[in-house]
Amino acid sequence: MAIKNYSAAAETLIQLSGGKENFITVENCATRVRIQYKDLSKVDKKAIGEMDGVLSVIEKDGLQVVVGPGVCNKLCAAINEILSVDRAASTAAPDAPDVTEEKKKGDFLKIISDIFVPVLPAMIAGGIVQGLNNVLKSVAEARAAAAGIAATETLTAAQVWLQNYHLLNLSNLMGLIYACVFNFLAIYVGYTAAKRLSVDPVLGALIGCITLSGDLTKFGTSAGKGGLIGVIISILVLKYIYKFIQKIIPNQVAVIFVPTLSVLITAALMITILMPVCGVLSDAIVSGLMWILDKTGVFGGFILAACFPTLISTGLHHGLTAIHMEMLNTLGYAPLISVQVMSNAGMVGAACGIFLLSKNEKVRQACRGAIPTSFLCVGEPVIYGVCLPSGFGFITGSIGAGVGGALIRLFNVSFNAMGMAGMSALPLVADGKYLYYLISYFGGAIAACVLTYIVGKARHYE
């Protein structure tokens, strides 16, 4: 059953978590409430997993309670309201208590995931807006050409058409939103990276600002060199420099000299060493991935797409955001995103197969709630609510995702922005290959549905 009373659900979750005093932080991403506890042994994970509306509970870097899009925001806010914690301050500050040793020792992809999760809402909004703007401008170009509209000194023919229909300001506004998200992404990432690595987040934002400055040409480098990877590594360097200077500077003048010297030294190292080296590293990663995608073709698309449901189920897919962004910044498009989105097709198809198979009303109810949401935007509801509980459905869904990935590479479909999955991703498709995206998506979904149904029948699944 879905959550009907968020305050009551929050109260129950707090009680099952060992009480208010056991909480350190509560935040949410697109589909999960992420909770850090002082003592995880006090938490009744099984009981939380059995709560109405909870799709799954993942014990990784604290506890991740999967409840689906929209629901996670409301439940998170309800918990924080009861805990009397300001929503904006619910993430760990630099001077907050150590969260857990597990978090400190998190693997690289997990750390990257934690850095990008807070930025995702803005990235999704910017990506979807730009995708819609691309569709609008494509229609304008076609209509302007058909009507024989000529360009003016200040406007293109498409812009003239948009202006005639009072749509030019809307198009400009959507372009502005996209630019403000992605042109300044290094600042947002600098802030969240510093917060994740227990450094003053505003100093992290400052490091991100420096990497975007046009004055970098005076030092023989250029704005954006090294990309987001360079920003994150620079924040890590800032962390250790800050700690070192903190030890040697007297407390009486620490407030002046610690941040000043830390930023000065880090900026010097970043401009002279880190940005150039990370620039080479970023280019090598993008070139290597493009080589793999180009050389392996449909086979590589199948393997990569089939692996993505596993990454998504563990939340590690967010760790690839930096790579997606490097592709967008370097190439102007990102074929790996379109391959990743095919995981959504496979899981939705498998859930449809389970819906057709099952006679269990609880399973069918879970399918009715999860399939539309996943079809429209994110795959977690069908992954946790339907496919993983069935066992075999996750495997057949992954194979279906592979079929979608093979088709997406066969048609060479790429995305020109980041956003959501499913049908919400349609405006993000580059070069107007919307039909090929739909063929690939439904091809993967149908393959997963048929395979799930066949395997389910063989297993006498009900």
**What number of other Cβ atoms are within 10 A of residue 157's Cβ?**
18
Q: What is the pLDDT of residue 169?
A: 95
And the tokens for 367? 């399918």
Residues with Cβ < 8 Å from 50, sequence gap 6 or more? none
For residues 211 and 234, the answer to whether their CB atoms sit within 8 Å is yes
Q: What is the pLDDT of residue 108?
A: 66
Q: What is the pLDDT of residue 267?
A: 95
CA distance 228 to 282: 9
For residues 231 and 207, the answer to whether their CB atoms sit within 8 Å is yes
Query: Over the chain, what is the mean pLDDT?
Result: 86
Instruction: List, by residue number, the catalytic residues.
Output: 29
Q: What is the pLDDT of residue 361?
A: 84
Q: What is the pLDDT of residue 315?
A: 67
For residues 29 and 120, the answer to whether their CB atoms sit within 8 Å is yes
Mean pLDDT of each 10-residue bin along the chain, 462 residues long? 84 91 84 87 89 83 81 87 61 41 53 79 83 88 92 92 94 92 91 91 95 91 87 94 91 88 96 91 83 89 91 73 80 88 94 91 84 83 85 93 95 86 87 93 96 90 74
**Model's pTM, two decimal places?**
0.70
How many Cα atoms occupy the beta-carbon half-sphere of 457 within 13 Å?
7
CA distance 207 to 194: 10
What percent of the chain shows pLDDT beyond 70? Answer: 93
Let me know the angle formed at the C-alpha of 163 by 160 and 166, rounded to the nearest 5 degrees: 160
Q: In the CATH scheme, what is the homologous superfamily, with its name and number, of domain 6-103?
A: Glucose permease domain IIB (3.30.1360.60)
The packing angle between helices 227-248 and 321-331, to 10°, is: 120
Backbone angles phi, psi at 151, to 5 degrees: -75, 155
CA distance 113 to 107: 10
Single-letter residue type at 398: S
Residues with Cβ < 8 Å from 134, sequence gap 6 or more? 416, 427
Q: What is the DSSP secondary structure assignment for residue 153, as one 8-state letter? A: S
Return the SS3 of 334. strand
Q: Where are the domains of the chain?
A: 6-103, 119-182, 185-298, 333-458
